[in-house]
Structure 1
Amino acid sequence: MNLAVAPTEPVLAIVLPAALDGSLGTNRASGGHRQIAADTDVEAVRLWLAEYSASPHTLRSYRKEAIRLLLWATQTLGKPLSSLTREDFLFYERFLAAPTGDWADPERPRRGRTRRLFEGPLSERSQHQALGILSGLMTYLVSAGYLAGNPLALRRGRTTSARRSRRVERYLEHALWDHVLASVEQWPRLTERDEQHYERSRWLIRLLYHTALRVSEAAHAKAADFYQRRGKWWLHVIGKGGAEGEVPVGDALMADFARYRAFHGLSPVPAASETGPAVMSIAGDDARHLTPAAIYLIVRDVFRRAADALDAIDSIGATTLRRASTHWLRHSAASHQADAGTDLRFIQKNLRHASIETTGIYLHAEDDRRHAQTTHVPSAQETSGPPGNRPA
């Protein structure tokens, strides 16, 4: 099986065999007025992806799913995307739950032309997200007059309320988060490079946790995005789809920011005219931003080291940390704010959720109280009191 894809895709750089390029796909629309000039599947998908060029995080996520489907359809089924049927997508759903062979081969690199396209089986939630993205692609191609129909439109969906009724699980309990912070302080700092890595990692995990930023938002954040209003600090954020928001910033985080900047010889407080990033390269280069992938790897390294330090005394906690990633810090921030009694409407604004129902999945404290009151069964003595007070 050949899983070769271009090492970098400006939008979508992938080459399919001429016989499988989709120009003769059985689901191609005939007649009518075409809204796009594309005549092959790759050209059509490239135009769909271009609609998301202003949102790098969304573009990366959508491109990943498009590449997976294009390669799977042509290499596993020997069919172009524009010939896929509902039965084919049922097969693809089963594949997402258990990708095998080269698709998830741990010996393959994570990057480059021959990279593996899966880390392993997708969770139910990730499967649903992948198929939702692909359904959006197919709907776009139908609306553009490229495809005759969307096979995924026949898929039986789950209701929004059912999907969101379960509490989020990918977050760190308070004690585990405290351990992560403490473990970073134990890192050896024998060289200048060690010091630089320590200071950047220390600042980055605090930034992600206290602001609940997505990894792409942190990658593009500028120092000048921190600003004061009425004596309070805020962070201006450009999120998914270019949506703008603002997040409250406490004095503790600003003190950590001042420390990080001072380490690199910068003023404690950024000037409004600064163009440098909020998180710099390891040597403090303020001329370029880190990539989301670099931030992801830094955070994973922090969690890995914290897990290693915890192995001997808490293997379950160590296992949790080895699963954790950047998005866990966003979930942890929301969960901890909810535990502290922060108004749910404020958490919704801090995370920039469109619906407060989404924010409701972080209300763990309410579940804890319900669990305690439900599972605590009073003893006979508790219910009847001292012997002399028992009813006859």
Structure 2
Amino acid sequence: MNLPAAAPESPEPIFSLVLPAALDGHNGVNRARGGHRQIAADSDVEAVRLWLAEYAGSPHTLRSYRKEAVRLLLWATQALGKPLSSLTREDFVLYEQFLAAPTGDWADPTLPRRGGTRRLFDGPLSERSQHQALGIVSGLLTYLVSAGYLAGNPLALRRRTGTAARRTRRVERYLDHALWDHVLASVEQWPRLTARDHQHYERSRWLIRLLYHTGLRVSEAANAKAADFYPRRGRWWLHVVGKGGTEGEVPVSAALMADLARYRVFHGLAPTPSGNETTAALMSVAGDPCRHLTPSAVYLIVKEVFRRAAGMLEASDSAGAAKLRRASTHWLRHSAATHQADAGTDLRFIQKNMRHASIQTTGIYLHVEDDRRHTETVREQVDTVRPDS
């Protein structure tokens, strides 16, 4: 797959994608005409760039959204000879079919994963991945409609099938209690011979506990301030600013406050944060209390924790080690919700802790109910040999 030339100063294709003038969207048939425009962008790439800029603070979301935008822009211009802003509902039916079976050098395994001749697919997308890709694209189109750039969102006409089943499917990307205990124990075995090693150990130790005990998303943890921890009626809470600027508060245990105190004391700060300090809850890699750990750094540190824990587990539990190698930051959020449900926490409270808009979303963490149903179902299902009659 030969990508259009990109400006050398930007490694991100979507920010510097160059399309033929006839396909850049200036005259797209789905362009909004008249009315009050909310953005000045006058080409598809410029408009997509603005949409992506909304996610600059969430690098992993940005990476995922950029990938889908690049795929759509290149497919539209190269496969259909159309700009993004001319695509119709019929075109998106073809795009759904394409996602299920990308052909030719779109998924050529001999092509590299990076660079101007890279492949954009590893193979056909699963039903779940197709659903996710189309959801991201629909979000892009909705944004462009709201911005006054497009007249309508063709995917708004798409009939949704199977969504109820998908919503009730249990989350599997989480660590069971034994794996989580192993992760905690493995970190305690990290070397602390140098000042740098010791700092990295304390930072990693605090980070995984913060993510697990609060269920924070990566961007929420990276942006959290020490002053966001506050007492009320003798109990500690954490103020959280989540997706779309939505605010919430999460209960904080005495154990987590002790971990925060340990982390702060290591960096020469008072054990308990004051309400007016500007110190980061997760300090930069250099340990600067006035600078936050970046979302990318949060992700990489958690991946390292899981990778090292997997290495220690390989000899005794290869399946568990493989699962740890797949795990990422969001698995800690899933683990938090799952373990709270396992402990019998009221589903309404878990919903508030996770800041889910719908309690149906929270319901996917109820593994204990499934365990009980399985046990009750198979209890009497013992094979017996019946004598010939």
Q: State the TM-score bracket (shorter-chain normalisation).
A: 0.7 to 0.9
User: CA shift at 1:326, angstroms?
Assistant: 0.3
The alpha-carbon distance between structure 1 residues 292 and 143, as it changes in their structure 2 partners (threshold 3 A), is closer
Question: How many angstroms does 1:378 deviate by?
Answer: 6.2
Mapped partners of 1:277, 1:113: distance in 2 = 39
* Mapped partners of 1:300, 1:129: distance in 2: 23
Quick check: 1:165–1:361 contact (8 Å CA) kept in 2? yes
Q: Distance in 1 between matches of 2:262 and 2:128?
A: 39
Q: Structure 2 vs 1, CA of residues 151 and 19 (structure 1 numbering), >3 Å: closer, same or farther?
A: same
Q: 2:79 and 2:25 mapped to 1: Cα distance?
A: 15
Query: 1: distance between equivalents of 2:299 and 2:332?
Result: 11
How far did 1:180 drift? 0.6
| Equivalent AA in structure 2 for residue 361 of structure 1 | I
Confirm or deny that 1:2 pairs with 2:9.
no
User: Structure 2 matches for 1:111-150, cutoff 5 A?
Assistant: 123-142=126-145, 146-150=149-153
1:65 matches 2:71: no
Q: Quick check: 1:298 aligned with 2:301?
A: yes
User: Aligned partner of 2:257: which letter?
Assistant: M
Q: Give the Cα separation in 1 of the matches to 2:269 and 2:250.
A: 23
Distance 1:302 1:44, change over 3 A: same
Q: Which moved more, 1:11-20 or 1:161-170?
A: 11-20
Change beyond 3 A, Cα 1:58–1:151: farther
Q: Distance in 2 between matches of 1:206 and 1:20?
A: 49
Task: Give the distance between the partners of 1:94 and 1:194, measured in 2 at CA.
Answer: 50
Deviates more, 1:308-317 or 1:126-135: 126-135
Take 1:350 and 1:23, find their aligned partners in 2: how far apart are those partners?
45
Q: Matched residues in 2 for 1:150 and 1:378: separation?
A: 52
Residue in structure 1 matched with residue 387 of structure 2 by the alignment: none
1:120 and 1:301 map into 2 onto residues whose CA distance is: 28
1:369 is matched with 372
Q: For 1:228 and 1:211, how far apart are their aligned partners in 2? A: 15
Q: For residues 140 and 228 of structure 1, do their structure 2 counterparts lie closer, same or farther at Cα, with a shift above 3 Å needed? A: closer
Helix, strand or coil: the match of 1:227? strand
> Unmatched 5+ residue regions in structure 1?
382-392
**Partner of 1:335 in structure 2?**
338
2:194 counterpart of 1:187: no
Instruction: Identify the residue that residue 262 of structure 1 maps to in structure 2.
Output: 265
Does structure 1 residue 309 correspond to structure 2 residue 312? yes
Q: How many angstroms apart in 1 are the aligned matches of 2:280 and 2:123?
A: 34
Q: 1:35 aligns with which of 25, 34, 37?
A: 37
Structure 1 residues 210-219 or 121-130, which shifts more? Answer: 121-130
Identity of aligned residues (%): 74
| Aligned counterpart, 2:221 | 218
Distance in 2 between residues matched to 1:282 and 1:104, nearest whole Å: 39
1:198 CA displacement: 1.0
User: Which residue, out of 227, 230, 233, partners 1:227?
Assistant: 230
Tell me how far 1:157 sits from its aligned partner. 1.1
Return the alpha-carbon distance in structure 1 between the equivalents of residues 266 and 213 of structure 2.
Answer: 21
Distance (whole Å) between structure 1 residues aligned to residue 273 and residue 202 of structure 2: 17
Structure 1 length as normaliser, TM-score?
Answer: 0.84
Report the alpha carbon displacement of residue 250 of structure 1 after superposing the two structures with TM: 0.5
Partners of 1:309 and 1:120 in 2: CA distance: 33
- How far 1:135 moved relative to its partner? 1.6
Q: C-alpha offsets along residues 261-305 of structure 1, whole Å, 9 cap, x if unaligned?
A: 111111111122221211112331112112211111110111111
- Opposite residue 285 of structure 1, the aligned amino acid is D
In the alignment, which residue of structure 2 is the partner of 1:384? none
Aligned counterpart in structure 2 of residue 24 of structure 1, from 17, 27, 30: 27
Q: CA deviation at 1:181?
A: 0.7
Any conservation in 1 of the 2:222–2:292 contact (CA below 8 Å)? yes
CA distance in 2: counterparts of 1:347 and 1:313, whole angstroms: 34
Aligned equivalents of 2:199, 2:121: Cα separation in 1: 33
* In 2, Cα distance between equivalents of 1:35 and 1:12: 21
What does the per-residue CA deviation read over 1:349-381, in whole Å, with 9 as the maximum and x for residues that have no partner?
100111111101111001100000001116699
Cα displacement string for residues 100-155 of structure 1 (whole angstroms, at most 9, x for unaligned residues):
8577979546xx99998668765533432331232233244445554454332332
Asked whether the 8 Å contact 1:334–1:347 carries over to 2, the reply is yes
Which of 246, 249, 253 is the aligned partner of 1:250?
253
What are the residue-to-residue correspondences of 1:27-106 with 2, within 5 Å?
Answer: 27-29=30-32, 32-33=34-35, 35-36=37-38, 37-49=40-52, 52=54, 56=58, 60=62, 62-96=65-99
Seen in structure 2, the aligned counterparts of structure 1 residues 91 and 324 have a Cα distance that, compared at 3 Å, is farther
The aligned counterpart of 2:166 is 163
Q: Residues 325 and 116 (structure 1 numbering): CA distance in 2 closer, same or farther, change over 3 Å?
A: farther
* Matching residue within 277, 281, 301 for 1:274: 277
Q: What RMSD, in angstroms, separates the aligned Cα atoms of the two structures?
A: 3.2
Return the letter of the residue paired with 1:257.
L
Deviates more, 1:190-199 or 1:54-63: 54-63
Instruction: Count residues with an aligned counterpart.
Output: 376
Answer whether contact 1:141 1:147 (CA < 8 A) is retained.
yes
1:208–1:214: 8 Å Cα contact kept in structure 2? Answer: yes
Cα offset, 1:7, TM superposition: 3.8
Q: Which blocks of at least 5 consecutive residues in structure 2 are unaligned?
A: 385-389
Q: Which of residues 280, 288, 292 is equivalent to 1:289?
A: 292
Cα pair distance change 1:380/1:285, threshold 3 Å: closer
Return the alpha-carbon distance in structure 2 between the equivalents of residues 13 and 309 of structure 1.
43
Q: Which residue identity is paired with 2:217? A: R
